[in-house]
Every structure is written in structure tokens, then in C-alpha cells.
Structure 1
Amino acid sequence: MAQARAPRADAVRNRKKILDAAREQITLHGPDAGMDEIAAAAGVAVGTLYRHFPTKTDLVAAVIAEYTTHVADDVDAARERAAGGSRALEEITGFLGRVVEATATNHAVKAAARTLGARPADTAAESRAGTALTELLQAGKSEGDIHPDVTVDDIYLLISTAPTDQPPTARARWLTLVLVGLTTHARPTSTHHG
């Protein structure tokens, strides 16, 4: 039986260039970013873009899938560090900060996905992120740092309501405030200068 051929190196490079250009163009122009403009920004012929992504919805779904894989990889690494002796609370705090920053830079792409109804077909990365986050929260609860009633859905709720359209100082302040709701600790005295 013939073995499936791996994609050619130039096809892999083109796909990455297209995804990067799509993220950039959608961030600049929102859901109305044109496929011709995305192809030009990627330095590929528009036919090449359509060979990889037959519709704009397919393209946006691929950008969202790439982002979800990045988030899953991040929380997986955080869980591994916690399993290796790092405090789960520190890993959860770091993860939340990183995912909110990544979401802030992908805000326009997420809005475009909602507008176009783009949803990645493969939910394996989403599932992997949920499993790793569950284990990370459990470790935090076992260490006595995370409140016993905190769930993965709570983390997703917090991320979905983060002020991703606000400046970095506002996002940092948001993280300080939400950590109080997640942890068993009182809020430390802050030197916050709003």
C-alpha cells in the first residue's frame, strides 16, 4: 500500500507564510481583509492561497487552530514544570498572563472567526489543553494554593472576559485581580500606580 507523501518543504513554508500574513492582515483590517491582500502579504500567488485554503473561513479556522495548538503546548509545558517541582500557582499565573497577551494580539482574528463562523475541525489541541489545565488546577488545589471550587470552565470564563483590547497595564491589573478569586490567599498589598 502506498504511503502518504509528506508535504513538500515549499508547501509547508507557503502555508506558514499564508497563516502569518492572514493573522497580520486580519489584525489590521478585521474580517474584511481580502484573500488577494493576504496572498500578496504572504508573497504567494492567490491560487496558492486557495489551494491551501479554499475559503476565507477555512483560512481563519486554520489561524485559530494554530493559536489553540500554541495554547495547548503552553499549558502542557506548565503542567510538566509543575510535575517537576515548580509550584502550580506560579505556572497557572504565568499561563494566564501568556494566554491573555496572546489573545490580545490575536483579538482581531478571534473577532473575524466569530463573524465568519470559523471553527477548527480538529479539537484535539483544545482537548489536550483542557486535560493539562485540569491536572495543573488539581496540583494547585493539592498544594493548597488554588481554591477548591475553581474549574477549567472558570479559567476559560476568565480568559474570555479578559481586557484583551486594553493596554498591557490593564491586562496586568486584571491578572492581579483575578488571581484573588482563584487562590486561597488574601491579595498582597500592592504598589499599583494606576
Structure 2
Amino acid sequence: MGPSLKLVGLVVMLLAAAAASVSGETEQLTKTPPKFVEVKHGVKRCRKDWECPQTSQFCCNLTITDFFDAYQFENLFSKRNSPVAHASGFYDYKSFIIASTDYQPKGFCTTGGKKMQMKELAAFLGHIGSRSSCGYSVAAGGPLAWGLCYNREMSPMQDYCDESYSLTYPCSPGAQYHGRGAMPLYWGTSITDA
């Protein structure tokens, strides 16, 4: 992990901690305890209505809405709906939570206790915020406030094969690399074997 990614993660964690200490009225999705619990082969498995709809051992733990509220999402991505944001009106808290319901039963932000879950969510939000930011270092609120600005590649015809990295991150012969989607991958440094 590079220093800039560590810094982004740290800043997001600090923002999340600060936002958690703020009290205020906010739209919240219903927080519910597990509705269905079974023990199979000594493993407790649960299901929590809409947020963790698949029976899973991870659904017995806290889910994202138990520790991350709409006002925190709004504070983290406060500039995402500004007139200059290319994805204005696209991202919101409810859509994020609904999208996460496919992954929470598989362990996304539902393992390791509340502190670990918050760290995992902070790392994820820091990553998507930095990769989709249209802010820059002197932007109002700083670059992190401008996260979730993009939801598609802005230069789809750009070929991201950089010959200066041909020894360490070579591009496949004849292949072209183009960014796409909300979190595009750029250059050969991002498009390598795992």
C-alpha cells in the first residue's frame, strides 16, 4: 500500500470517527436484529431481512447500517451532488446500502468485530472516494470531499498502455487498455496479474 493510499485511508477513518461523534437527525434505514437463526454443524447462521437476506454466519454480526449512517455518508461525500460533479444525483446512501446487501452475507464489513468492520468500510470508502474524485489539493473541502464525482470513464478512447513501464508492467501485444465504469483502472500499473 503506497503512502498516498495510507493517507487517504487514515483521513477517511478520522472523518468517519468525527462523523460518528456528531449527533443529529438523519434518515436511517431500519436496523434489525437477526430474524432467522440456525445452527448447522456447530456454526451459527443468521439472516437479517433486506440488509443481509442470505443465510450466512456473517449475518449474525453487525451490518453496515448498525455503525454507518446516512449523515456520515453525506459528510464524507458532501460535494458529490454539486453542479460540477459528473455523477450528480447518481450516488446516495440508500443505494450504497442496497448494493452492499449482495456482499455483506459473504463477509463484507461483517467480520472481525465493530472496530474491524469500521476499518474495512473506511478503507473501501477511501478507495472509491479517491478513485472517483474530481477534486484536487486546493479544491473547496479538499480532494476527498469530491469523491463519487464520476460514474463512468471520461476519456473512453484513451489507451492506457504506458511503454515507460514495459519492463515491470508490460501490456499484452496488440491489446488496448481503456478505463470504464465508476472505478476505472488506468495504466499497466493497475492492470496486472493478481
Fold-level similarity (TM above 0.5): no
**Which bracket does the TM-score occupy, shorter chain normalised?**
under 0.3
TM-score normalized by the length of structure 1: 0.26
More helix by share: 1
Structure scoring higher RCO (CA < 8 A, sep ≥ 6) equals 1
TM-score normalized by the length of structure 2: 0.26
More strand by share: 2
